[in-house]
């Protein structure tokens, strides 16, 4: 029994030596990693082989810290400047008292147009106001046409003078006309008055005027205007026949009725 125990005890030292070597290797592998020593139960590692990266990081952190401090100082300076700044609102210009406000000057009156002399109306002629307003009723009634009117027969060459030219109109401008010749003939037919676009009074035969002698007078168009004395000046023309002529004619009120 004692011998067996002794033999067993003889193997203990070698076994313990081997176990110690294994334990040292395992412990060294656990504690020594990448040039650093990581202590058990501690998050930080102790470096034993510094390669310069830690110093670069420390320098970078120091520079950032210095920049942060500089920014904080600049912010503090802006805050002090802002606190010292006083803003004053711009006030509108003072409004004067009502007693000091003057009304705007009254506009100067426009000069009155020079008075125009009223043109007369011929008592025996056409009424000027009705004529200028183109009221054809101005022709209503009977009229004598003053003219040295004469005709020439295109077949015989005989000349006939007309001593009277008489017209009568209703208020719409429709009427009749009568001419008496020195040869004893009478020419009679319809006639119509109107105003044209230029404000002229137009008296139109509408057709050739037949005469009792068997002849006829070519169709005439008589155009009238008022002169400054209120007299109607007219021109009688035969525009529809190249052989026709023209004659100056004056209008005056006649006593006869239509």
Whether residue 54 lies inside any domain: the answer is no
Do 239 and 140 share a structural domain? Answer: yes
Q: For position 52, what pLDDT does the model report?
A: 72
Q: For position 15, what pLDDT does the model report?
A: 57
Q: For position 160, what pLDDT does the model report?
A: 92
Residue 65's CB is within 10 A of a number of other CB atoms, namely 10
Whether residue 87 lies inside any domain: the answer is no
Residue ranges of the chain with per-residue pLDDT less than 50:
34, 258
Do 134 and 35 share a structural domain? Answer: no
> Residue 157: which domain range?
128-253
Tally of domains within the chain = 2
* CA separation for the pair 221, 239 (Å, rounded): 7
């Amino acid at each position: 029994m004692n011998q067996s125990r002794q033999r067993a005890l003889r193997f203990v030292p070698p076994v313990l030596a081997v176990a110690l070597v294994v334990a040292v290797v395992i412990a060294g592998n656990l504690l020594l990693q990448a040039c650093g020593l990581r202590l058990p139960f501690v998050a930080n590692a102790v470096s034993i082989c510094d390669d310069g990266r830690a110093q670069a990081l420390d320098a970078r952190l120091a520079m950032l810290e210095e920049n942060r401090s500089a920014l904080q100082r600049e912010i503090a300076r802006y805050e002090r400047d802002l606190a010292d700044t006083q803003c004053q609102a711009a006030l509108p210009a003072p409004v004067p008292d009502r007693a000091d406000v003057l009304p705007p000057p009254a506009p100067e009156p426009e000069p009155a147009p020079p008075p125009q002399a009223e043109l007369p109306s011929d008592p025996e002629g056409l009424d000027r106001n009705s004529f200028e307003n183109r009221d054809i009723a101005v022709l209503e009634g009977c009229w004598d046409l003053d003219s040295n009117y004469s005709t020439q027969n295109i077949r015989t060459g005989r000349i006939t003078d007309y001593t009277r030219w008489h017209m009568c109109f209703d208020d719409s401008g429709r009427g009749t006309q009568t001419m008496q010749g020195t040869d004893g003939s009478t020419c009679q037919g319809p006639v119509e008055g109107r105003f044209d676009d230029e404000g002229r009074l137009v008296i139109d035969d509408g057709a050739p005027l037949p005469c009792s002698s068997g002849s006829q007078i070519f169709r005439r168009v008589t155009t009238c205007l008022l002169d400054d004395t209120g007299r109607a000046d007219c021109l009688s023309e035969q525009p529809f026949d190249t052989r026709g002529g023209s004659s100056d004619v004056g209008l005056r009120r006649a006593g006869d009725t239509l």
